[in-house]
């Protein structure tokens, strides 16, 4: 199903022997728009230390109780490599984390996930350690720039909880179209200028204005997706190999 990342913030992370903490943020790969880690605030248990948890260790979530069971113990988290989230997460830091937990390094899989078609960062970028993991909390709020001007800001990110791919950016058109929200796929987006906090999309303001309106209170279903993709004339991700 599709989930709002904003709504998942605050979910509990439950280890086999007790609660580890709560979801504080999500780090995603800005090349593939795949969530690579949940950022967990351990609260008073580990002096509010932040820990990274890969989606691969999550068990079936308890949506009613707003909790993610994980295949980890509290001791494993306590002894995990320290991560300074005030600095960019380097590949070296990830190597240490994955080695400690015995996780398969995602960056060694050329396809990243079989469910999506993405081009991974070049070996030159990888070896430099200059990684492009982005905070979902930070990106929510970025300005969305159409081909002919600003159209609003990113109000949320919608993730497919089966493969943890960010399928849509929720665009709040604020003053231009009061109260209206629309969805744009990251695959349609152009460059993201991180210092300026802008996401560019190759769409006109008029095209966005007439696109199928998004209702945050209603789940995104295949019927809505069909209307959205047909409207924009884009290839459907669920029919590609």
Q: Which domains does the chain have, with CATH numbers?
A: 2-133 (2.30.30.240), 140-239 (3.90.50.10)
User: Taking CA 83 as the corner, what is the angle to CA 81 and CA 84, rounded to the nearest 5 degrees?
Assistant: 150
Instruction: Over range 179-183, report the average pLDDT.
Output: 86
Whether the predicted pLDDT of 43 surpasses 50: yes
User: Taking CA 42 as the corner, what is the angle to CA 37 and CA 46, rounded to the nearest 5 degrees?
Assistant: 125
Distance between CA 71 and CA 115 in Å, rounded?
Answer: 23
Least confident range from 79-83, 99-103, 106-110, 153-157: namely 106-110
pTM for this predicted structure: 0.88
Q: Which pLDDT score is estimated for 168?
A: 97
Q: In whole numbers, what is the pLDDT of the chain averaged over residues?
A: 86
- In tens, the pLDDT along 86-138 reads 888 888 899 999 999 999 999 886 444 444 444 333 333 444 444 579 999 99
Instruction: Over range 208-231, report the average pLDDT.
Output: 92
């Amino acid at each position: 199903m599709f989930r709002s990342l904003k709504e998942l913030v605050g979910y509990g992370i439950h280890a086999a022997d007790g609660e580890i903490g709560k979801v504080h943020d999500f780090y995603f790969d800005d090349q593939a728009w795949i969530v690579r880690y949940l950022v967990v605030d351990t609260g008073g248990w580990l002096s509010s230390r932040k820990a990274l948890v890969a989606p691969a260790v999550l068990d079936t979530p308890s949506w009613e109780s707003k909790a993610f069971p994980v295949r980890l113990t509290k001791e494993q988290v306590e002894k995990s490599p320290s991560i300074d989230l005030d600095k960019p997460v380097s590949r070296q830091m990830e190597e240490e984390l994955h080695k400690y937990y015995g996780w398969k390094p995602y960056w060694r899989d050329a396809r990243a996930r079989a469910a999506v078609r993405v081009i991974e960062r070049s070996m030159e970028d990888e070896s430099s350690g200059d990684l492009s993991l982005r905070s979902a909390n930070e990106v929510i709020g970025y300005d969305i720039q159409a081909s002919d001007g600003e159209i609003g800001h990113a109000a949320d990110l919608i993730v497919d909880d089966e493969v943890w791919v960010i399928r849509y950016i929720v665009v709040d058109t604020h003053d231009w179209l009061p109260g209206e929200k629309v969805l744009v796929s990251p695959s349609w987006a152009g460059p993201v200028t991180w210092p300026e906090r802008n996401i560019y999309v190759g769409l006109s303001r008029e095209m966005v204005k007439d696109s199928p309106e998004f209702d945050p209170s209603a789940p995104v279903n295949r019927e809505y997706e069909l209307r959205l993709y047909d409207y924009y004339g884009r290839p459907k991700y669920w029919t590609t190999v």
